[in-house]
Amino acid sequence: MIKGTVKIDAKICKGCELCIISCPQDGLGLAAQFNDKGYRYVELIEDNCTGCVNCALVCPEAAITVFRQPKPAKKSVEKK
């Protein structure tokens, strides 16, 4: 499976949890700490992110940046 990761800007996250329910890997969760605005912010709590971008698409604060491993080059020619 392709590996990815997310970077969540904890300063502007409002803990709405919409990203949590959109993550097919159940990889996101609320931190125990609060940010300066007083919200429990979201963190990647599992090491299973696939970089599917779902969380970033629904985030109302545009707080999520997503990274993903490049797709491996197709080896169809060699296989035969």
Where along the sequence are the contacts to another protein (CB under 8 A)?
3-5, 7, 9, 11-12, 14-18, 21-22, 39, 51, 53-54, 56-70
What lies within 8 Å, CB to CB, of 36 at 6+ separation is: 11
Minimum distance of another protein from residue 27's CB (angstroms): 13
| Amino acid symbol at 42 | V
Measuring CA to CA, which residue among 71, 46, 66 is closest to residue 56? 66
Shortest Å distance, C-beta 32 to ligand SF4: 14
Q: Answer with the entry of ligand SF4, another protein, none that 7 interacts with (C-beta below 5 to 8 A by kind).
A: another protein
Nearer to ligand SF4, 32 or 77 (CB): 32
DSSP character at residue 6: E
